[in-house]
Amino acid sequence: MSDTVIRVENLSKRYRIGSSQGHFKYGSLRDSLANAVKAPFRRLRSSSDSLKEAPKHIWALKDVSFEVKRGEVLGIIGRNGAGKTTLLKILSRITKPTEGHVRLRGRVGSLLEVGTGFHPELTGRENIYLNGAVLGMKRIEIDRKFDEIVDFAEIEQFLDTPIKHYSSGMYMRLAFAVAAHMEPDILLIDEVLAVGDLAFQKKCLGKMEKVTQEGRAIIFISHNMNSISHLCNRVIWIDLGRIISDGNADDVISNYLKTQQSFFKNSKLKAEEWNIRNKSHKFFKEITINGISLPAEIVLKQKSELIIQIIGESDGMLLRNFRSGVHISSEEGGRIMTYGTPWSAIGDINIKGKVSLTCKIEGLPLIPGRYLISLGCSTDHGSLDWLENICFLTITPDKQNSSRLPQIYKTHGYFLTESFWDIEEL
Amino acid sequence: MSIETELVPTEFEESEILISPSQGLFSLELGDLWHYRELFYFLAWRDIKVRYKQTVLGAAWAVLQPLLSMALLSLIFGYFLGLPSGGVPYPAFTFTALIPWQLFAYALSQSSESLVADRNLITKVYFPRLVVPLSSVAAGLMDFAISFVILIGMLLLFRIPLSWRILTLPAFVLLALLCAMGVGLWFSALNVQYRDVRYALPFLTQFWFFATPIAYSIEIVPENWRWVYSLNPMTGVVEGFRWALLGTDYTIGPLVLVSSVIVLLVLLSGLAYFNHMEDKFADVI
């Protein structure tokens, strides 16, 4: 037999939306009774005919086809509402497709949430069994792995305490521990690793990597491009229920991040912000990053060169002791680092008229992700001009050239630098 | 297309699962249900475990409820109204009927709410949805076992002799459970889409309680109304209990037969409806 363990063919899923959904969800019995006479006929027709396009429907998935082979780790990326979770729900048989079908070979384990079925009144021990059963584990299997699970969760002394008394960290650890000990042939994971404390998250990723080495197939949904990039060898990008691209992880991720950038560019806020500043600023006239003049979005491979060129003008005044800086913040807004004009140069730079400043950063040591660049300059009299969050900077992974670099997840910090290790047996 | 039943951790299993759009009315996969029998067990076990958590009286509630009902009903119907009870002391007469009724009513209300109560399971994990209402029906047996012991004690107290008829009791227990299951399947599936069920159910249960000869004897029902009573399957169950434990002397054969047929019809239609709706649960709930 072939190595294909998941075969998805023309999969489509249609949902009702808008006001009709409200009706559909908690419809009143009266309305349905009123239609009861007509309903059987209508239903007969709609199931025999091809499905008619009703106005208040949305295709959460449309004609999605792909295959996954044994040992493959497939990442699925896309914006919120792109259809990722719907796909996973169909694959894990929680909901049925409207059209198309899927063939799965082997035992399927799905993890759309950790701690599904946990009951607050039950003890840790009891919940391990309950949750295990919910995840499709056999009792003997749980018995066998019980100690391992408790060990992994580090909750030994609270084993017989009802979990409603657990801290949220303990709760998550226990939930992960059970999930991490599933041994399916096909593992489907939604964004569940995003929670939990950092050290534990790492432990789970490690466990997952081990699972893939054992030849199981994994489908993994995440918004964290780092974990996707590290875990997956192949990525499918979905938007509006359709596959946009399917291929090598780094390529698909880079393409995806680029369009995400244009998405932000198109959003009015950014462009307007730039214009307002453009008119009112005292010094900055034109910014070019890596040859692209702003407003624009910058996409770089990790550890590559960043060149920022600034054209500024002083309105005829003499700017004494001019200083300038390139500030980089995380997407969440925290300042990460600043590249400033050197200390030694302060006091030396006096500017009059139009100038060009170029800041060159070699091998920008940031881990893949999205950042924001701000620019500022000042003189003796304090701050002169300030451009906050002038553009997005996206760093994409580059596995080929990272042999000397450590494997880093966002939880490890922001910086990616080489280090030299001597490991000797003693 | 069934799932494998044995787990071999590292070996790859050559079973195939086909996921396709909803099929016809009857696509009941019993093999699948069997595969998930452990989940059934764990859910029932959870319901029993959790039932009396954080209560002062705990499982005493299982006994108190029918005992208090019995006292009240005996007072009103037996003492105030002086209704006949076929020579049996009124408390024993009503208690014998209350026990299967409590089993039925509890199983019915639990199973009707079960899908909505376990919505986090329904939307996050796959398993045959039938496991949920079935396990909540089973959880009612715990209370039943406790109050059954009280019942036997009461019969001894009133010196009512037990006969071979007690051996038929499991059949009536099963009939009560199947009846609760049949109606529960309808209601649990309806409840997913129409929360009206939540409001209709207490009323229906109360109505049903008085439409079943629990507080009174079927003998006070006029002859030409008896056939209407026989359509209520719980009449068969309750009268069956009295026949088996109290040794009532009228024949209950036809009554039990009609009850069984009706329970079967409700159960099969409930299964069909449940099955038909099952695929939509996760989307609608």
Return d(Cα B194, Cα A23) in angstroms, integer: 10
Q: What is the pLDDT of residue B49?
A: 86
Residue A106 buriedness (CB in 10 A; 0-12 / 13-18 / 19+): buried
Q: What is the pLDDT of residue A280?
A: 59
What residues have CB less than 8 Å from A128, skipping those under 6 apart? A142, A146, A149, A150, A174, A178
Helix (H) or strand (E) holding B16: strand B16-19
Classify strands A234-239 and A217-221 as parallel, antiparallel or unpaired: unpaired
Helices (H) and strands (E) in chain B — how many of each? 12, 1
- B19 to A93: CB separation less than 8 angstroms, yes or no: yes
Q: What is the pLDDT of residue A395?
A: 87
Contacts of A182 in chain B (CB under 8 A): none
HEC readout, chain A: CCCEEEEEEEEEEEEECCHHHHHHHCCCHHHHHHHCCCHHHHHHHHHHCCCCCCCCEEEEEEEEEEEEECCCEEEEECCCCCCHHHHHHHHCCCCCCCEEEEEEECCEEEECCCCCCCCCCCEHHHHHHHHHHHCCCCHHHHHHHHHHHHHHHCCHHHCCCEHHHCCHHHHHHHHHHHHHCCCCCEEEECCCCCCCCHHHHHHHHHHHHHHHHCCCEEEEECCCHHHHHHHCCEEEEEECCEEEEEEEHHHHHHHHHHHHHHHHHHCHHHHHHHHHHHHHCCCEEEEEECCEECCCCEEEECCCCEEEEEEEECCCCCECCCEEEEEEEECCCCEEEEEECCHHHCCCCCECCEEEEEEEECCCCECCEEEEEEEEEEECCEEEEEEEEEEEEEEECCCCCCCCCCCCCHHHCCECCCCCCCCCCC
DSSP state of B78: I
Return d(Cα B240, Cα B242) in angstroms, integer: 5
- A134 to B125: CB separation less than 8 angstroms, yes or no: yes
> Does the reported pTM lie above 0.90?
no
C-alpha distances in angstroms, A262 versus A269, A270, A298? 13, 11, 10
Q: Does B22 touch chain A (CB under 8 A)?
A: yes
How high is the ipTM of this complex? 0.82
- B124 to A215: CB separation less than 8 angstroms, yes or no: no
Return d(Cα B109, Cα A358) in angstroms, integer: 75
- B10 to A214: CB separation less than 8 angstroms, yes or no: yes
Distance from CA of B173 to the nearest CA of A (A): 28
Q: What is the pLDDT of residue A53?
A: 43
Given a contact cutoff of 8 angstroms between Cβ atoms, the answer to whether B240 and B168 are in contact is yes
Given a contact cutoff of 8 angstroms between Cβ atoms, the answer to whether A375 and A310 are in contact is yes
What residues have CB less than 8 Å from B102, skipping those under 6 apart? B65, B66, B143, B144, B147
A188, amino acid identity? L
Q: What is the pLDDT of residue B235?
A: 93
- B17 to A135: CB separation less than 8 angstroms, yes or no: no
Return d(Cα B129, Cα B260) in angstroms, integer: 25
Return d(Cα A191, Cα A225) in angstroms, integer: 12
- B19 by DSSP, 3-state: which? strand
Tokens, residue B224: 């030409």
- B218 by DSSP, 3-state: which? helix
Instruction: Tell me the backbone φ, ψ of residue B145, rounded to 5 degrees.
Output: -60, -45
Cα A70 → chain centroid: 24
Given a contact cutoff of 8 angstroms between Cβ atoms, the answer to whether B161 and B117 are in contact is no
Q: Does A122 touch chain B (CB under 8 A)?
A: yes
Distance from CA of A411 to the nearest CA of B (A): 27
Q: CA B87, B91, B97, B100 torsion: positive or negative?
A: negative
What residues have CB less than 8 Å from B194, skipping those under 6 apart? A26, A27, A28, A29, A32
Distance from CA of A128 to the nearest CA of B (A): 11
| Closest residue in B to A103 (Cα–Cα) | B18
Round the CA-based radius of gyration of chain A to a whole number and report it: 27
Q: What is the pLDDT of residue A269?
A: 40
Cα B240 → chain centroid: 15
Positions of chain A with pLDDT lower than 50, given as ranges? 1, 19-25, 45-54, 266-273, 275-277
Q: Determine which of B4, B13, B18, B19 to mutate to test the interface with A (most A C-beta atoms within 10 Å).
A: B19
- A103 to B16: CB separation less than 8 angstroms, yes or no: yes
- A116 to B121: CB separation less than 8 angstroms, yes or no: yes
Residue A371 buriedness (CB in 10 A; 0-12 / 13-18 / 19+): buried
| Strand ranges across the sheet with A217-221 | A108-111, A186-189, A217-221, A73-77, A234-239, A242-248
Given a contact cutoff of 8 angstroms between Cβ atoms, the answer to whether A17 and A69 are in contact is no
Question: What burial letters (b/e) apply to B240-253, b meaning 16+ CB within 10 Å?
Answer: bbbbbbbbbeeebe
Q: Does B23 touch chain A (CB under 8 A)?
A: no
Given a contact cutoff of 8 angstroms between Cβ atoms, the answer to whether B87 and B246 are in contact is no
Contacts of B22 in chain A (CB under 8 A): 96
Q: What is the pLDDT of residue B183?
A: 95
Tokens, residue B72: 């009240």
Instruction: Tell me the backbone φ, ψ of residue B111, rounded to 5 degrees.
Output: -70, -35
DSSP state of B165: G
Q: Which of A51, A32, A136 is nearest to A97 (CA)?
A: A51
C-alpha distances in angstroms, A237 versus A234, A251, A367, A403, A410? 10, 11, 21, 26, 21
Instruction: Tell me the backbone φ, ψ of residue B59, rounded to 5 degrees.
Output: -65, -10
Tokens, residue B42: 């764990």
Q: How many CB pairs under 8 A join A and B?
A: 131
C-alpha distances in angstroms, A348 versus A318, A323, A345, A352, A353? 13, 10, 5, 13, 16
Ordered domains of chain A (ranges, CATH): 4-19+59-261 (3.40.50.300), 269-412 (2.70.50.60)
Positions of chain B with pLDDT lower than 70, given as ranges? 1-15, 23-29
- A27 to B127: CB separation less than 8 angstroms, yes or no: no
Q: What is the pLDDT of residue A51?
A: 46
Return d(Cα A204, Cα B131) in angstroms, integer: 31
Return d(Cα A422, Cα A405) in angstroms, integer: 15
Return d(Cα A209, Cα B264) in angstroms, integer: 52
Q: What is the pLDDT of residue B8?
A: 38
Return d(Cα A129, Cα A118) in angstroms, integer: 10
